[in-house]
Amino acid sequence: MNLYKIANEARGLAMDAIAAAKSGHLGLPVGCAEVGVALFGCAMRYYPENARWVNRDRFVLSAGHGSMFLYAWLHMAGYKVSLDDIRAFRQMGSKTPGHPEFGHTEGVECTTGPLGQGIGNAVGLAVSQKKLRAYMGDLIDSHVFCLCGDGCMQEGVAMESLALAAHWKLDNLILLYDSNDVTLDASLSRTQSEQTADRMRAIGFGVQTVDGHNIEAVVEALERAKLAEGFPQIVIVKTVIGKGIPEVEGTAKAHGESGIKFAKEARQRWGLPSEPFYVSEETRAFFEKRLAELSNSYRTWQTRFDAWKTANAATHELLFGQKAALSLDDFPKFEKTVATRTACGEVLQSIAEKDPLFLTASADLFGSTKNYLKDGGDFSANNIAGRNLWVGIREHAMGAILNGIAYDDFFRPSGATFLVFSDYMRPAVRLAAMAKLPVIYLWTHDSVAVGEDGPTHQPVETVDSLRCIPNLVVLRPADAEETIGALETAYNRKDGPTAIILSRQDLPVLQGTSRKNVASGAYVVQAESEALQAIALASGSEVALAISRANKHTRVVSFPSMELFDAQPEDYRNATLDPRCKDRTAYEATTGHFWAKYQTTQLHAIHTFGLSAPTVEVLKHFFK
Amino acid sequence: MNLYKIANEARGLAMDAIAAAKSGHLGLPVGCAEVGVALFGCAMRYYPENARWVNRDRFVLSAGHGSMFLYAWLHMAGYKVSLDDIRAFRQMGSKTPGHPEFGHTEGVECTTGPLGQGIGNAVGLAVSQKKLRAYMGDLIDSHVFCLCGDGCMQEGVAMESLALAAHWKLDNLILLYDSNDVTLDASLSRTQSEQTADRMRAIGFGVQTVDGHNIEAVVEALERAKLAEGFPQIVIVKTVIGKGIPEVEGTAKAHGESGIKFAKEARQRWGLPSEPFYVSEETRAFFEKRLAELSNSYRTWQTRFDAWKTANAATHELLFGQKAALSLDDFPKFEKTVATRTACGEVLQSIAEKDPLFLTASADLFGSTKNYLKDGGDFSANNIAGRNLWVGIREHAMGAILNGIAYDDFFRPSGATFLVFSDYMRPAVRLAAMAKLPVIYLWTHDSVAVGEDGPTHQPVETVDSLRCIPNLVVLRPADAEETIGALETAYNRKDGPTAIILSRQDLPVLQGTSRKNVASGAYVVQAESEALQAIALASGSEVALAISRANKHTRVVSFPSMELFDAQPEDYRNATLDPRCKDRTAYEATTGHFWAKYQTTQLHAIHTFGLSAPTVEVLKHFFK
């Protein structure tokens, strides 16, 4: 079989799908067709009949706009992506959306498209696979292949992530950098002057550069990269973007769909018949043979796995069994005034004990965010079992790496930084919400109560801006008791990320707070003792304030999570916020934009950035 | 004068201020004291009596947590930071807040603290200074000095910014990297393994490494860096964090305020008397002499400047004169259906013609964001007059660099990317709002109407999340006519940033829209023709939808900006949204969280992420 012929057929599929959709990105699937053969036809180990095989090589298309690359090769390789699916590229409800979507198409490891994120996800997958080795030994010898372009490489999140990959010596990570010297707008030389190979060596990568249209050379480089130990690997594949498409190849115009008007001539150059969506019998036969080999390899591995399973039943159950729901009923009640970040740190120790697969990260702030797992050890090349990830001052990479760990679905990732710096990782948080990843964010140093550090470090709009993200649950516990409930709720959520907003300052443990009620989003924390005249609504540190200002006719409702409350049955919502009571005052040390939906008539919130002064004075300034 | 003595007195000021506040970061001001002397005592040119002297060297403390470094040296150098101000470090209303705040303290060039941002700002300042040379020639030979630590260097925004600095060959930029091998949490070796000098050389920087406690060596390196041409420069200054503080020096503990308990012994080691806030007569004399020299240099320059001014009155007026308000009254009305991004692009040409100092940037999307200034030329080392900034796929750096340009206050910066990627630059947007910088953001590809690119590229929550940021005006024009008004409004805003949200898809030019009314935030775009029974509220592309669904009793209000409307007098607000009319329906292709504040009774919005399909189908799906 001529592998170059297969490459050209993949080019044809991309051209036909994008021409049919009149939309899409031709540049990468056409430019990287030989890379595709090298990966799916030769170097990568996978098994479409068990697409989530634990020891498969993972493939991440960080340059998600080149989605037809992925769909074409998944189709050829035997995944559940049919030619009809490819014909429906970018159409409503198809398996082949504009950018790859995790959970939607088998074989798609990550939701990618926003540039740079896939590189971070790949690092996370590599971390997860390294950590699996701590449990399964050499049963796990998978690699993570990540294909990215100049766009990904220019993004800060990628550079942060690569620094960590090198620091952790993730030699199971192989980055394929589709280096075609062209970005969407122009030649790469318009925006870049670096010596990439030197830069990557300086970071700590093994570097190879190959002709991306020479399949043998690419395969050889990938095989060498697979064998390399001690350093992550980058293979710089020099390609011609849109190779073979007249007028556009090698130029910025090749990126998008403008090449479709040259489809006919391109097909001729590629040696393809006029029939669209063409895959030859030889190609089918090649991949059938490949599948048979992969199937053998899978079966051999499965035999070893079965033996391991018998000998390691408990570990097997831990990794592959049903996860039990977490209960923190037995966690002792905090008696004293305590910062919720501190309370959180103590509860985390208990969670870590109950679930050995629970991990946590901090962006150079373990000392402040208090989420260090005391018996967890530090993840490193020398301690792949370590459960604390020291990610440095790289919030965005932390977000993308936590997503990668969550995509792999063995370890339960959480990560911490100051709430105000959640902005630095926001694009990754958005993707966690979209891809329904159960990441837990521990964001401390809430509100202007941060004090002396001043407005740059005081989140005021941050909680509201997080509430905007669909499928992100935001929890702002009022005290240590609600913090216990928040962690239980977050842990038990499986279909999306949860943010827990924690105080730097000490907060009293309030009388009426309840860990159990957190899951309902809002509840009466102090009932009116006489006829109801007013409702006070508050979250977090302001629940105490609301209670302090309540009189006998006031009902105080603690509101740890609007998203969870809004999901409650109407009965519960009406019982909590009596609709007949129109006098409603909200207290929250945020911009407070979300309270209007509860028909509040008064709002005590913060409408400007904060200021630098001791906490008590700042709070007095804003809540006179 | 013994310069080392001055350094120790600066250490003392930092120690005393932080001890008084019981809060702050000792590590940098103490560790970099010799660097401070080298900068403010030797290498830097400045003139405190004209703190904004156009040809001054700029100093950016990217590691803003080390603010006592800046305050101590500003004090010694003769800026308006008194010892009393330093005594009031981190107190309410003082000139010495926890992190440096632009516009609040003379001599503070940028609001810094969120790590990495200052590096981007410094690149922006260097761009601005380079561009000034296009007008003022060798009258401008200033440098931008930026002091940063490991934290800044690890951040993606810094790496993106440094790549651009190298690409643009900004040889007026000198980065001082306080390399102390310690981050807040731990030794640097816990999170980093790279060869920084090699990496910086590979990027395209001139690199020197010096002992940061050897003043002569630092000065020599800085002087060499000042003379270097063709490349930006980094001086890696090896320091011991918290040098001289017993028990903590050289360790992560030196970062914060924990060293204050060793104040007494530290003072002894530094050779300081027991008197706190001590500055010796010799130090005063040294800086008086230095001021006299700087004053001479300033005066000599001023003479040249005056001659230039006489010969170049028009250019002088352009750069230093009062800026006229922009009027777009004469801009022709768009007749045809047109995407607002396209309309924006055309209006920008007119703005660029009226204001030669108007600049624009795009994150590799000029072809899509349409903001390229046709006669503007491209900024590069060979064309410092260029007005289009090609920043590559580096949104975050773009944000920080636009801020840097705005801090310099000569050029009017704008920048574009897809709206959904505003998340990538959000930390810089927040700082623009906080520092009151008049940056204009042109964010295109609004809402699910993006179509086939699918949920990763479809902003749904993004507009709402931007509305959360204090002092950011968000404008979402309904059509080309409102786009003209939006650009006029944005241009004329001087005390903060403005975001303009633009459509990818064509939008009809509506009958009732008015460029003039945009400035009031909301206005009646179609009045009820019979008795008022309902009000429809909408922004952007949904104004047409609201009009199409209105009957004779419905008033349709176009709402380009909630922030601007909320700032209108009550009379106007009541006249627009008749308080007697309780039936209020909002239409917006966003998460729609903000409409509740206008007492809407129905909401047509989007409560999930979008989906990949042609625009018409996606819109039909969400707005049945």
Distances (CA, A) of B266 to B26, B182, B277: 12, 20, 14
| HEC-encoded secondary structure of B300-338 | HHHHHHHHHHHHCHHHHHHHHCCCCCCCCCCCCCCCCCE
Nearest to B44 by CA among B81, B2, B10, B77: B77
Nearest-angstrom CA–CA distance, A150 and B203: 15
Contacts of residue A98, defined as CB under 8 A and 6 or more positions apart, other chains included, come to A23, A24, A65, A67, A90, A113, B452, B453, B454, B457, B612
Q: Quick check: do B338-507 and B517-622 share a fold?
A: yes
What does the pLDDT average to over A212-229? 98
Q: CB–CB of B593/B600 below 8 Å?
A: no
User: Minimal Cα–Cα distance from B182 to chain A, Å?
Assistant: 11
Query: Over the Cα atoms of chain B, what is R_g?
Result: 27
- Token code pair at residue A557: 């409702």
This complex has an ipTM of 0.98
Is the distance from CB of A251 to CB of A182 less than 8 angstroms?
A: yes
CA distances from A309 to A59, A154, A313, A410 (A): 26, 44, 5, 16
- Per-residue pLDDT band for A307 (boundaries 50, 70, 90) equals very high
Confidence of residue B72 (pLDDT cuts 50, 70, 90): very high
Q: Give domain B3-288's CATH architecture.
A: 3-Layer(aba) Sandwich (3.40)
| Angle between the N-to-C axes of helices B215-227 and B3-21, in degrees from 0 to 180, rounded to the nearest 10 | 100
Q: Report the candidate in A178, A151, A253, A181 with the shortest Cα–Cα distance to residue B393.
A: A151
Average pLDDT across chain A, whole number? 97
Q: Which residues of A touch B163 (CB under 8 A)?
A: 154, 192, 194
Are B413 and B386 in contact, with CB atoms under 8 Å apart?
Answer: no
Please state the rounded mean pLDDT for residues A104-128.
Answer: 98
pLDDT tens-digit map of B260-310: 999 999 999 999 999 999 999 999 999 999 999 999 999 999 999 999 999
- Residue B185, pLDDT > 90, answer no
Provide the shortest C-alpha distance from residue A151 to chain B (in Å).
Answer: 5
Cα–Cα distance for residue pair A72/A13, rounded to 1 Å: 6
Q: Is the pLDDT of residue A1 over 80?
A: no
Q: Determine the residue of chain B that is closest to A88 in CA distance.
A: B613
Q: What is the pLDDT of residues B570-593, one digit of tens each?
A: 999 999 999 999 999 999 999 999
Q: What is the pLDDT of residue B186?
A: 86
Of B368, B461, B618, the CB nearest to A468: B461
- Is residue B9 less than 8 Å (CB to CB) from chain A? no
Q: Say yes or no for a CB contact (<8 Å) between A198 and B196.
A: no
* Mutation to test the B interface, candidates A96, A465, A537, A597, most B Cβ within 10 Å: A465
Q: Is B482 a catalytic residue?
A: no
Tens digits of per-residue pLDDT, B467-488?
A: 999 999 999 999 999 999 999 9
CB-CB contact of A164 with A394 (8 Å):
yes
Question: So what's the pLDDT on residue B73?
Answer: 98
Model pLDDT for residues A475-492, shown as the tens digit of each residue: 999 999 999 999 999 999
- Average pLDDT, stretch B525-542? 98
Does residue A591 contact residue A464 with C-beta atoms inside 8 Å? yes
Measured from the Cβ of residue B580, the count of other Cβ atoms closer than 10 Å reads 6
Cβ distance of A456 and B112 shorter than 8 Å? yes
Q: Least CB-CB distance to B423: which of A99, A201, A430? A: A430
Q: Where are the domains of chain A?
A: 3-296, 338-507, 516-622
Considering only CB atoms, B199 lies closest to which of A202, A367, A434, namely A202
Distances (CA, A) of A51 to A260, A289, B202, B388: 32, 18, 40, 47
Q: What is the pLDDT of residue A426?
A: 98
Q: What is the mean pLDDT of chain B?
A: 97
Question: What would the two tokens of residue B388 be?
Answer: 């289009």
Chain B partners of A63 at a C-beta cutoff of 8 Å? none
Active-site choice (B9, B34, B395, B488): B395
pLDDT, average across residues B106-118: 98
Amino acid at B8: N
Residue carrying structure tokens 């060499």:
B224
Tokens representing A368? 């402040």
Kindly tell me if the per-residue pLDDT of B123 is higher than 80.
yes
- A residues 453-492 closer than 8 Å to B (CB): 453-457, 460-462, 464-465, 467-471
The b-or-e profile of B341-374 (16+ CB within 10 A means b, else e) is bbbbbbbbebbbeebbebbbbbbbbbebbbbbbe
- Let me know: does B160 contact A163? Beta carbons within 8 Å: no
Q: Positive or negative, the Cα torsion across A34, A40, A42, A44?
A: positive
Q: Which pLDDT does position B457 carry in this prediction?
A: 98
* Cβ atoms within 10 Å, residue B55: 20
Of A364, A396, A470, the CB nearest to B609: A470
Read off the pLDDT band of A88 (50, 70, 90).
very high
List the single residue in A64, A154, A427 with the smallest CB-CB distance to B160: A154
Best to test chain A binding among B187, B612, B619 (most A CBs inside 10 Å): B612
CB A621 to CB B597 under 8 A? Answer: no
Contact status, residue B82 vs residue B75, Cβ threshold 8 Å: yes
Indicate the pLDDT class of residue B5, thresholds 50, 70 and 90: very high
A3-296 — its CATH code? Answer: 3.40.50.970
Q: State mean pLDDT over B360-372.
A: 97
Confidence (pLDDT) at B126: 98
Are the C-beta atoms of residues B596 and B439 closer than 8 Å to each other? no
Whether B206 and chain A come into contact, CB under 8 Å, resolves to no
Q: Can you give the pLDDT at residue A624?
A: 84
Interface of A with B in 562-621 (CB under 8 A): 591, 593-594, 596-597, 607-609, 611-614, 617-618, 621
Contact A61, A70 (CB under 8 A): yes
CATH topology of domain B517-622: Rossmann fold (3.40.50)
For domain A338-507, which CATH number applies: 3.40.50.620, 3.40.350.10, 3.40.50.970, 1.10.286.10?
3.40.50.970
Among residues A395, A528, A542, A588, which one is catalytic? Answer: A395
- Cα A153–Cα A154–Cα A156 angle in degrees, nearest 5: 100
pLDDT at A373: 98
Task: List C-alpha distances in Å: A506 to A441, A446, A477, B98.
Answer: 20, 12, 13, 21
Q: For the domain covering A516-622, report its CATH number.
A: 3.40.50.920
- Residue A67, SS3 per DSSP: helix
For A143-199, what is each residue's pLDDT tens digit? Answer: 999 999 999 999 999 999 999 999 999 999 999 999 999 988 889 999 999 999 999
Smallest CA–CA separation between A301 and chain B, in Å? 35
Residues B182-210 have a mean pLDDT of 95
Q: Are A141 and A427 in contact (CB under 8 A)?
A: no
Sequence-distant (6+) residues with CB within 8 A of A417 are A362, A363, A365, A369, A395, A398, A424, A425, A443, A444
Model confidence at B56: pLDDT above 90: yes
